[in-house]
Amino acid sequence: MENRIPLLGEKMPQLTVKTTHGTINLPDDYKGKWVVLFSHPADFTPVCTTEFVAFAKRNDEFEKLNAKLIGLSIDQVFSHIKWVQWIEKELGVEIPFPVIADDMGQVAAALGMVHPGKGTNTVRAVFVIDPEGKVRLMIYYPQEIGRQVDEVLRALKALQTSDANGVACPENWPNNELIGDKVILPPASTVEDAEKRMNEEEGYDWWFRFKSL
């Protein structure tokens, strides 16, 4: 298996993994669904705990988007189980998604998740995988900085909107400072198309046209 970060648009490597919910085959077991695979440096650490709570509290929102959450770190399954139990007992938050026990580090190595200079700790990586098993989005954070889970959710919604409508989404969509919740039309491919667009939809110029959905 080649150990490198997958490129956007590439198929997710075929992986059989141990999790807190049993054995999972990625991405085949999730065919037809979106997957948000996110790694954390280690169990029983403060920043990771805050992230797991945030993901868990938004699990229903991901489910409504036909998306499944999967966590991962280079820890053994019993460590994951004890940590998940601790979160539920001490913080009152149930972790509804599986957590991959990558105790040999094979999955993290295959996906380029191992943090250089941090021993066996994984970076805070997020992989958004589409229903065809292709990697569509990646976000990497260092060990010291927690992620914003709402941004992962926003990015997933934007990807789905782009796919369904053949459009692009602006910065911070659907709350962009220039065009609000409107989406951006693909660029014109001919002079005729560029001139035609000036009389259709909204926009600042022929190359910057947008519309409401």
CB proximity list for 83: less than 8 A, separation 6 or greater: 43, 44, 49
Question: Is-contact 156 34, C-beta < 8 A?
Answer: yes
Q: Please tell me which residue in 12, 36, 48, 158 is annotated as part of the active site.
A: 48
The one-letter amino acid code at 119 reads G
| 127: phi then psi, degrees, rounded to nearest 5 | -115, 125
Closest of 150, 203, 206, 159 to residue 179, by C-alpha? 203
Mark whether 48 is an active-site residue. yes
Question: Is-contact 123 117, C-beta < 8 A?
Answer: no
| Residue 207 DSSP class | T
Give the residue numbers marked as catalytic. 48
